[in-house]
Structure 1
Amino acid sequence: MARLLLVLAATAVLLLAAGATAQQQGCENATFPAGRSFARCNTLPVLGASLYWTYHAANGTAELAFRAQSDATGWVAWGINPGGAGMAGSNVFVASPGGGGAVSVLTTILRTTSPALDNTTLSFAVPVPPTAEYAAGAYTIYVTVALPGNSTQQNTVWQAGPLSGGAIMAHRMSGPNLQSVKRQDFLSG
């Protein structure tokens, strides 16, 4: 009986390690322009998204890249909700097509679940203004944030949705779009 328990325990450890490795393999081979690199990454569970970051303990900031699959006529967003889990209250960065082939980044606070997308100052510091690019079927948002409350544990959200006539439209209200929340540990991953 003890031998069987030992074998089952060893098998469980191997399966957990394999799962963690498989999740990391989804993002670890990503490349970024201009010599950008990040210490850690997570393949997020829905919407074809990944988060890459380097945490700087000396000043409580995280330098990050959020990448999500989208066609060129859509938008993607990533953010932190300093007050709780879910969309309402989140401070987000929204990437969408800008003029002349550029990608624009809107910063906004989602005060409700039916927000007005006004470009506003976020409730936490953003020491380096966000930028974004579109390549190979994905948007990538680059930003450095001062982690709210100087905490490495943050509630994060992300989304993807359509545009209509250049305007950001609501995302789907089912399936993966309602599952795009995660408690992110910027220290250990």
Structure 2
Amino acid sequence: MARFLVIVATAVLLLVAGATAQRQGCENATFPAGRSFERCNTLPVLGASLHWTYHAANGTAELAFRATSGSAGWVAWGINPVGAGMAGSNVFVASQGGSGAVSVLTTILRSTAPALDNTTLQFDVPVPPTAEYAAGAYTIYATVALPGNSTQQNTVWQAGPLSGGDILPHPTSGPNLQSLMRLDFLSG
């Protein structure tokens, strides 16, 4: 019985330590121009984190998605209002064009081999998204009206290569297939 209690106590301590380490990883992030966010999650793959402030009065989330990448790469974050996974996701994609300027493409991933057309998302984006590249990471800033006015959302994120400023498909194995989670914007 004592051995069982030690195992249970150790497991609980490891879970608490893991959650604390995950939170500390994203809580140390800084943003320019005095931007700050109430909550954050260090995402489990692709060197990514999500920072946000939820505004219950109007059902919006002001957010910053940050992911490590070389300047010859792209990163993306989005919400899937129709299910879990990539197909159906409404995403923000940040990359640098040939001029070195960072831009944000908004697109709906209608399949697992989507055309990346710049289109209006299926939920309101009251402020045009922006992005920056610094210290080996892209950061996408956006404000979104949470679909269905629900704080629980299926989220996706991704990273991949560029070629001549064109977005190429991301790898289809390992961490790139694990980059999705259900997130509660109210509790984190």
When normalised by structure 1's length, the TM-score is 0.95
1:92 is the counterpart of 2:91:
yes
Distance (Å, rounded) in 2 between the aligned partners of 1:186 and 1:27: 15
What stretches of structure 2 of length at least 5 have no aligned partner?
none
CA-atom RMSD, angstroms? Answer: 1.3
Partner of residue 126, structure 1: 125
Shift of 1:7: 4.5
Distance (Å, rounded) in 2 between the aligned partners of 1:82 and 1:125: 12
Q: How does 1:76-91 map to 2 (within 5 A)?
A: 76-91=75-90
Distance (Å, rounded) in 2 between the aligned partners of 1:93 and 1:33: 20
Distance (Å, rounded) in 2 between the aligned partners of 1:89 and 1:36: 30
Shift of 1:6: 4.9
What letter matches 1:127 in structure 2?
P
Shift of 1:15: 2.1
Cα-to-partner distance string for 1:106-153 (whole Å, 9 max, x where unaligned): 000000111000000000000111000000000000000000011111
Shift of 1:101: 2.9
Distance (Å, rounded) in 2 between the aligned partners of 1:61 and 1:119: 22
Distance (Å, rounded) in 2 between the aligned partners of 1:179 and 1:71: 20
Q: How does 1:29-178 map to 2 (within 5 A)?
A: 29-98=28-97, 100-178=99-177
What stretches of structure 1 of length at least 5 have no aligned partner?
none
Check whether the contact 2:98–2:165 (CA below 8 A) recurs between aligned residues: no
Distance (Å, rounded) in 2 between the aligned partners of 1:172 and 1:50: 20
What letter matches 1:141 in structure 2?
I
Shift of 1:14: 2.1
Distance (Å, rounded) in 1 between the aligned partners of 2:75 and 2:5: 46
Distance (Å, rounded) in 1 between the aligned partners of 2:130 and 2:98: 14
Check whether the contact 2:98–2:164 (CA below 8 A) recurs between aligned residues: no
What letter matches 1:25 in structure 2?
Q
Check whether the contact 2:155–2:181 (CA below 8 A) recurs between aligned residues: yes
Distance (Å, rounded) in 2 between the aligned partners of 1:4 and 1:167: 58
Cα-to-partner distance string for 1:75-128 (whole Å, 9 max, x where unaligned): 000000000000000000000003643210000000011100000000000011
Q: Secondary structure at the match of 2:175?
A: helix
Shift of 1:24: 0.8
Q: Tell me the number of residue pairs that the alignment of Structure 1 and Structure 2 aligns.
A: 188
Distance (Å, rounded) in 2 between the aligned partners of 1:59 and 1:52: 18
Q: Secondary structure at the match of 1:32?
A: coil
Distance (Å, rounded) in 2 between the aligned partners of 1:159 and 1:10: 36
Percent identity between the two aligned chains: 85
What letter matches 2:82 in structure 1?
G
Q: Secondary structure at the match of 2:12?
A: helix
Q: Secondary structure at the match of 2:33?
A: coil
Q: Secondary structure at the match of 2:115?
A: coil
